[in-house]
Structures are given as C-alpha cells and as structure tokens.
C-alpha cells in the first residue's frame, strides 16, 4: 500500500508539472503566432491522440496582411514584374489605376513616376504589373488609386529563382526553378537537393525540408511533408497562399523563391474521367493575330481544348482568347512570364492537362496538323495508338518559306504559304500525359516516357505538321527578340550559330536579305490550302471564318 501511494503521488506530481509546462508554452506565444497556426474561424475541439496532425515549424511574423500589398518583385533583362496581392473581393486594377514609382532607399517620396506597360491577372488573388526597369540606386514600388503608395516588396532576379510549384497526383511537390544550370535531357543526382517549405525561408528554424525524388533540367520533385498536405486540405486557399517552397542544393545555396504550394489535383476530378480526347498546349508571345486561325482549324480536325501559355505578350491576346471563348471554344490563357522556360512550361501544362485530356499535342501557333488521308485527327491518333504501350506520336514537320510574299497573307498562313523545303525538319509530339516520366524531361517538344511505354514515328502520308516557320520578314524578324526554349541560344548571341533552330545564313542581326521572299522554296505544296478552301470558305462572301468579316475585294479568292 505504501508503494502504491508513493507511485500515485509521483504520477500526480508529474501531471501538474506537465500542465505547468503546457501553460508556459502557450503563454509564450503572442497573438500573431496563434493566428498563423490557427486561421480565422478556428474553434477549439477535443481530438484523440490518433488524429493529431504533424505541426510544421513556420514563421510567426507578418501575419496581418494589408488589404493590397506588393508580394514581391522580379527583375528581368528588359522589365520588372511586380506581383500585387489583394483580397478576393477586391476589384481588379487597370493600367489607369496604377503607376510605377521609383524611390530612394529609406524614402517614401518618388523620384520618378512612370506608367506600367501592362497589368495582368494571374488567377491567384494577385495581379502582375509590368514596369520599366528602375534606374540604378532607386527602389521600385507602386502607386495605386485610392490606396496610395505601397511599401516595396522583396526583389529577386529572374535567373536564380523558384518561381512556380504544384502538388501532383501522387502528392509529391513539383518545383519549377531557374539557376540550377543542369544539362538538357539528363537526370541529376537527386540526393544533392532538398525542398524547403515555410512562410519565411530565411529563418531555418521555421522551415521544413523534404528530400528530392527526381531532379532534371529545371524541375525538382520532392516528397511533400504530411503536415503541408494536411494544411492544404484543411485551410482556405488564401491562407495557404502564404506557404512558400524553394530548392536547396546541399552544401551550396538555397534559391530565392516566389513559388507557393498549390494543390492542383483531387480524387473527385479523377473519378469523373477524362473530359477531352484531344488537347493542345502552346507557348507564345505576340501571336494574337494568328490565334483565331490556329484554334478554328484545329477544332475542325478534332482538337477539343487549348492551353495557351502567354510569355509576356503585349498585343491584346486576352481579347482574342475572350472572343474565342465567347464562341464556345474551350481556350484558356495562362500567364507565364518566365523567360527561357519552354520546357518547364510544357511540363507544367502536361500536369494541368492530365486529369482532363487523353492526349495532348505540343505545337506552336505557326504549326498546323495536316491529315493528307482526309481522316480526322481523332481517328488517326486512335489507329496509331492501338498497342496500349504507345504513349507518344512523333509527327514530322514540313517547313514552309515566304512563298514569294512580302506582306502578311490576309487569308491566313495556311492559304498564303504554299512553298516549302523538300525534307522534313525535326518533329513535334502528341502524348498521353499520364505516361510521362516523373522527371518530366522534354526536349524539342517530345517527352521521356515511363518504363513500359514507347513512341512511334508517324508516316507523313497519315499525319504531318505544316510548320510556317519562315514567314514574311515582318513576322519572322520577331524570332530575333528572344527564343523561349531554355537550351536554345537567342539569335542575337554569337553562340551555336550553326544550330538548326536558326535560319541559315542570317547571322545575329535582324536584317532582311534581299531575296528573303524567295528563300526556303523547294516544293510547291498546296494540300492544306486546298482543303481549307473546300471546307471553310463561305460561298456567299468567299471569306474564311478567321478573316475580318468586312467586304474587301483583296481578300476574295480569285
């Protein structure tokens, strides 16, 4: 009895000791920390030991977010992108509502005030404001109508940055980064990399880390910590928008980050099955005037859904997309400001498409699927992929030249350009997105596949791509501005001058050769032109559906 009483006293003492520890622990937290751990609407409840989620270590600072604020600024070679965060209920701003202001350090008085080149919306309770680069020694901020001058946010360089992230079907985190400088088409040693999660990645004690499971090119895949997954499922998207993820190279450095963890997929989506058999993904810049022709034609041959990755266009492409949507085409524009990231952008698109698309084609806006046999694209894809292990169709490309033209053809590229090189150049791919290798490696529009899947090369008599690559000089010279692919040199650089990506003999200057309109013409090919005239021409007006519907004798077929 004495022994049992002693044990009882000891247990009681331990109970009161731990109660005191818990009280001291909670007293140490200030109100802002509690708001971070428990968002608005939190109500205490009794839970069992088995359902307590892991609590990640995260920063307890800056929990009160201003109504409108600068989230961060990214400096590019020719402009600065300011990410403006605002409440979901707030109205969107236009160029007339915002000015770019340039401040001296520790000063709130603008030294310079300029209009932004554009203001864009990026589907995440924030807008992207494009500003001229700030003069040396000044700090960029924004002046917003009815909100005054905003406090400048953290500023990062575009070429050493984790800029986008998403949670995949298997609950792994995929981080898109610049600055790793890995080789094209090669898988890196994943043990050298980790993903870091938190609200303030500069404070190690408030950061979670996770091992990378694959690393290739500019994409890092990590095992997502359970506590991060629980938070994404339990709390609102605006609350989770604060959780950043970055990549650390072990023994070297941690990349700056503006990437927030987003849960892209869910079992409810998967249960509904695939909505579309054929989709197309493209990345473009200033191609609005060609988009209607590209979408309308491909809708006729069987494409059902279009993903447009807009790489800093300033030609009102959003209006063209809206007009297509208004006429029942399923087109979405995704703002993708990250330069030299075509491979990463296509991987991002494949992930977005995998729940809704059986097959996805990766082509440019100047590339058109041509079916010489007259079959639909759907039938050709179905026939070619009957062996279940076939998950990629590689389609050869015919490169067309200016075809004697010196001005943009009014009836569109398919009708205007009819002379091409004899031999095909390269290929583009149609893939099953769920068959892609977890590394998401893609090079020149084709992907690495999972084990057990394979590709086939399409016969040109069944399916070929008409690539209107060498158009009239007015259009072609835009290629000198910047190439979108990561591992392709810009044409103004004295590197890889002999690359097939470049036009032969042009060098590094956008100077039109005297004989440009007659170049790249070896074979007369009117196959696709003849088909669209037969199918699309309005017999009353002689117009094609993507033309301006205004009477114009110049646009009629002779």
Higher-pLDDT residue of 104 and 87 is 104
Residue 12 counted as domain residue: no
Residue 165 counted as domain residue: yes
At residue 87, the pLDDT reads 75
Residue 549 counted as domain residue: no
Is there a single domain that holds both residue 350 and residue 434?
A: yes
Is there a single domain that holds both residue 300 and residue 444?
A: yes
356 and 272 Cβ atoms separated by less than 8 Å: no
Is there a single domain that holds both residue 396 and residue 294?
A: yes
Residue 265 counted as domain residue: no
Residue 508 counted as domain residue: yes
Residue 547 counted as domain residue: no
Is there a single domain that holds both residue 356 and residue 437?
A: yes
- How many structural domains comprise the chain? 3
**How far apart, in whole angstroms, are the C-alpha atoms of residue 224 and residue 240?**
14
The burial of 233, by beta-carbon neighbours within 10 Å (0-12 exposed, 13-18 middle, 19 or more buried), is given as exposed
**How far apart, in whole angstroms, are the C-alpha atoms of residue 348 and residue 163?**
12
409 and 417 Cβ atoms separated by less than 8 Å: yes
**How far apart, in whole angstroms, are the C-alpha atoms of residue 394 and residue 390?**
11
Residue 554 counted as domain residue: no
Confidence check: pLDDT of 407 > 90: yes
Q: Are strands 305-310 and 244-249 parallel, antiparallel or unpaired?
A: unpaired
pLDDT tier at 71, thresholds 50, 70, 90: very high
Is there a single domain that holds both residue 139 and residue 188?
A: no
Is there a single domain that holds both residue 78 and residue 216?
A: no
8-state DSSP, 134: P
At residue 1, the pLDDT reads 37
313 and 285 Cβ atoms separated by less than 8 Å: yes
- Most distant pair of Cα atoms in the chain: their distance: 114
Tell me the mean pLDDT in the region 123-147.
89
Is there a single domain that holds both residue 148 and residue 169?
A: no
SS3 69: strand
| Token pair for 170 | 């298997």
Is there a single domain that holds both residue 307 and residue 446?
A: yes
| Token pair for 533 | 């005239």
Write the DSSP string, 238-283: HHHTT-EEEEEETTS-B-EE--B--B---HHHHHT--SEEEEEEEE
Is there a single domain that holds both residue 473 and residue 487?
A: yes
Name the phi and psi angles at 353, rounded to 5: -85, -15
Tell me the mean pLDDT in the region 171-194.
95
| Token pair for 140 | 């960029």
Query: Which CATH number belongs to the domain containing residue 445 in this structure?
Result: 3.90.550
Is there a single domain that holds both residue 213 and residue 288?
A: no
Q: Which residues contact 219 (CB under 8 A, 6 or more apart)?
A: 174, 175, 176, 177, 344, 347, 439, 440
Rg of the chain, C-alpha, whole Å = 28
Q: Which residue, of 257, 284, 317, is where some domain finishes?
A: 257
| Cα pseudo-dihedral 310, 314, 316, 320, rounded to 10 | -30
Is there a single domain that holds both residue 366 and residue 505?
A: yes
Confidence check: pLDDT of 254 > 70: yes
Containing 382, the helix (H) or strand (E) segment is: helix 377-384
| Triad 300, 306, 311: Cα angle to 5° | 135
Residue 21 counted as domain residue: no
Is there a single domain that holds both residue 318 and residue 405?
A: yes
Confidence check: pLDDT of 491 > 70: no
474 and 286 Cβ atoms separated by less than 8 Å: no
Q: Which residues contact 547 (CB under 8 A, 6 or more apart)?
A: 410, 411, 412, 555
Q: Which residue, of 230, 257, 284, is where some domain finishes?
A: 257
Name the phi and psi angles at 220, rounded to 5: -120, 130
Place of tokens 């990349």: 255
Q: Which residue, of 140, 155, 170, is where some domain finishes?
A: 155
| Token pair for 534 | 């037969």
Query: Which CATH number belongs to the domain containing residue 220 in this structure?
Result: 2.60.40
Structural domain including 77 reads 69-155
| Token pair for 60 | 């307890």
Per-residue pLDDT of 304-362, as tens digits, reads 999 999 999 989 999 999 999 999 999 999 999 999 999 999 999 999 999 999 999 99
Least confident range from 457-466, 477-486, 542-551: namely 477-486
């Amino acid at each position: 009895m004495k022994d049992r009483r002693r044990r009882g006293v000891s247990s009681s003492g331990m109970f009161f000791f731990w109660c005191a520890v818990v009280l001291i622990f909670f007293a140490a937290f200030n109100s802002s920390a509690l708001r971070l751990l428990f968002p608005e609407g939190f109500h205490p409840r009794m839970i069992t030991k088995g359902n307590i989620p892991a609590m990640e270590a995260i920063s307890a600072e800056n929990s009160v977010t201003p109504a409108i604020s600068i989230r961060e600024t990214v400096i590019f070679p020719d402009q600065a992108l300011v990410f403006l965060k605002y409440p979901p209920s707030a109205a969107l701003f236009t160029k007339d509502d915002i000015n770019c202001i340039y401040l001296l350090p520790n000063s709130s008085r603008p030294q310079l005030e300029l209009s932004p080149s554009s203001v864009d919306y990026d589907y995440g309770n924030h807008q992207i404001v494009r500003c001229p680069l700030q003069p040396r020694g000044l700090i960029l901020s924004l002046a917003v109508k009815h909100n005054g001058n905003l406090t400048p946010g953290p500023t990062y360089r575009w070429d050493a940055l984790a800029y986008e992230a998403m949670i995949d079907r298997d609950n792994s985190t995929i981080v898109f980064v610049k600055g790793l400088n890995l080789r094209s088409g090669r898988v890196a040693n994943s043990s050298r990399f980790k993903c870091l999660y938190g609200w303030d990645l500069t404070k190690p004690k408030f950061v979670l880390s996770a091992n990378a499971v694959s690393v290739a090119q500019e994409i890092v895949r990590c095992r997502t910590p359970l506590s991060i997954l629980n938070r994404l499922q339990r709390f609102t998207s605006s609350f989770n928008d604060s959780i950043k993820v970055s990549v650390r190279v072990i023994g070297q450095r941690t990349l700056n980050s503006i990437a927030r963890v987003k849960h892209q997929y869910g079992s409810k989506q998967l249960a509904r099955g695939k909505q579309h058999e054929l989709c197309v993904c493209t990345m473009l810049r200033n191609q609005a005037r060609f988009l209607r022709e590209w979408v309308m034609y491909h809708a006729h041959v069987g494409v059902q859904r279009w993903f447009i990755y807009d790489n800093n266009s300033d030609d009102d492409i959003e209006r063209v997309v809206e007009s297509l949507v208004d006429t029942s085409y399923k087109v979405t524009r995704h703002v993708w400001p990250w330069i030299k990231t075509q491979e990463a952008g296509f991987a991002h698109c494949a992930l977005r498409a995998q729940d809704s698309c059986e097959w996805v084609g990766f082509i440019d806006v100047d590339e058109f699927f041509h079916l010489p046999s007259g079959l639909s694209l759907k039938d050709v894809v179905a026939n070619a992929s009957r062996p279940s292990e076939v998950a990629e169709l590689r389609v050869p490309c015919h490169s067309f030249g200016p075809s004697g033209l010196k001005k943009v053809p009014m009836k569109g590229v398919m009708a205007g350009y009819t002379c091409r090189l004899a031999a095909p150049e390269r290929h583009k791919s149609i893939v099953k997105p769920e068959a892609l290798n977890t590394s998401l490696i893609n090079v020149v529009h084709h992907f690495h596949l999972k084990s057990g899947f394979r590709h086939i090369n399409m016969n040109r008599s069944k399916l070929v791509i008409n690539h209107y690559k060498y158009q009239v000089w007015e259009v072609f010279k835009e290629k000198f501005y910047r190439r979108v692919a990561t591992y392709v040199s810009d044409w103004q650089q004295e590197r890889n001058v002999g690359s097939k990506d470049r036009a032969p003999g042009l060098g590094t200057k956008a100077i039109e050769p005297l004989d440009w309109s007659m170049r790249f013409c070896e074979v007369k090919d009117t196959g696709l032109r003849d088909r669209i005239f037969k199918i699309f021409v309005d017999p009353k007006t002689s117009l094609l559906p993507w033309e301006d519907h205004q009477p114009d004798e110049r646009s009629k077929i002779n």
